[in-house]
Structure 1
Amino acid sequence: MSVPKSKTPVDNGTGDTGGTGDTGDTGDTGDTGDTGDGPTPTAGVYWAKDDHAVAVVDPDGEQTARFTVTHDKAGLRELVRRLLRAGVTEVGIERPDGPVVDALRQAGLVVFVIPPGQLKNLRSRYGSAGNKDDRFDAYVLADTVRTDHRRLRPLLVDPPVTTALRQTVRARRDLVAHRVAVANQLRAHLQIVFPGAVGLFADIDSEISMRFLERFTTQDRADWLSPRRFGSWLASVGYCGRVDPAVLHARLADAPRGHTGHDTTASAAVTAAYIAVLRALTGQIAELAAQISEQLDLHPDAAIFTSLPRSGRVRAARLLAEIGDARGRFPTADSMACLAGVAPSTRQSGKAKAVSFRWGADRELRDAICDFAGDSRHDNPWAADLYRRARARGHDHPHAVRVLARAWVGVIWACWTTNNPYEPDRHRALQRILNQDQPAAA
Structure 2
Amino acid sequence: MSVLHDPPRPRPTAGIDWASDNHAVAVVNSDGAQLDRFNVAHTATGLGQLCRRLKRAGVTEVAIERSDGPIIDALLDTGFTVFVIPPIQVKNLRSRYGSAGNKDDRFDAYVLADTARTDRRRLRPLTPDNPATVTLRATCRARKDLVGHRVALANQLRAHLQIAFPAAVGLFADIDSKITLAFLRRFPGQDRADWLSPKRLAAWLASVGYCGRTDPSVLHARLTSAPRGLTGPDGEARVQITLALIAALEAIRTQIAALEDQIEEQLALHPDADIFTSLPRSGQIRAARLLAEIGDARGRFPTPESLVCLAGVAPSTRQTGKIKIVSFRWAANKQLRDAICDFAGDSRHASPWAAQLYNRARARGHDHPHAVRILARAWLHVIWKCWQTNTPYHPARHGAAQALNRDQHATA
Correspondence for 2:333: 362
Give the distance between the partners of 1:118 and 1:62, measured in 2 at CA: 22
Matched, 1:139 2:110: yes
Correspondence for 1:87: 58
Secondary structure, counterpart of 2:139 in structure 1: helix
Matched, 1:116 2:87: yes
Give how far 1:37 is off: 5.9
Correspondence for 1:164: 135
Give the distance between the partners of 1:286 and 1:241, measured in 2 at CA: 22
Residue correspondence of structure 1 range 387-426 to structure 2 within 5 A: 387-426=358-397
Correspondence for 1:50: 21
Correspondence for 2:171: 200
CA RMSD for the aligned pairs? 1.1
Give how far 1:437 is off: 2.2
Correspondence for 1:338: 309
Give the distance between the partners of 1:170 and 1:253, measured in 2 at CA: 42
Once the two structures are superposed, residues 347-393 of structure 1 have per-residue CA deviations (whole angstroms, 9 ceiling, x without a partner) of 00000001110001000000000000000000000000000000000
Matched, 1:375 2:346: yes
Distance 1:78 1:217, change over 3 A: same
Secondary structure, counterpart of 2:234 in structure 1: helix
Give the distance between the partners of 2:42 and 2:95, measured in 1 at CA: 29
Correspondence for 2:210: 239
Q: Give the TM-score normalised by the residue count of structure 2.
A: 0.97
- 1:316 equivalent among 266, 273, 287: 287
Give how far 1:264 is off: 1.9
Secondary structure, counterpart of 1:174 in structure 2: helix
Q: Which consecutive residues of structure 1, in runs of 5 or more, have no partner in the other structure?
A: 1-35
Which protein is richer in helix relative to its size?
A: 2
User: Which shows bigger deviation, 245-254 or 36-45?
Assistant: 36-45
Correspondence for 2:233: 262
Q: Could you list the runs of 4 or more consecutive aligned residues of structure 1 that deviate by over 3 angstroms after TM superposition?
A: none
Once the two structures are superposed, residues 285-310 of structure 1 have per-residue CA deviations (whole angstroms, 9 ceiling, x without a partner) of 11111100000010000000000000
Give how far 1:81 is off: 1.0
User: Which shows bigger deviation, 388-397 or 52-61?
Assistant: 52-61
Matched, 1:107 2:107: no
Give how far 1:38 is off: 4.5
8 Å contact from structure 2 (residues 24, 40) kept in 1: yes
- 2:122 equivalent among 151, 157, 172: 151
Give the distance between the partners of 1:46 and 1:201, measured in 2 at CA: 51
Residue correspondence of structure 1 range 9-28 to structure 2 within 5 A: none
Give the distance between the partners of 2:371 and 2:352, measured in 1 at CA: 15
Q: Which consecutive residues of structure 2, in runs of 5 or more, have no partner in the other structure?
A: 1-6
Secondary structure, counterpart of 1:347 in structure 2: strand
Give how far 1:426 is off: 1.1
Letter in 2 for 1:122: L
Give the distance between the partners of 1:124 and 1:262, measured in 2 at CA: 63
Give how far 1:239 is off: 0.9
- 1:432 equivalent among 396, 403, 406: 403
User: Which shows bigger deviation, 56-65 or 314-323?
Assistant: 56-65
Matched, 1:78 2:78: no
User: Which shows bigger deviation, 357-366 or 42-51?
Assistant: 42-51
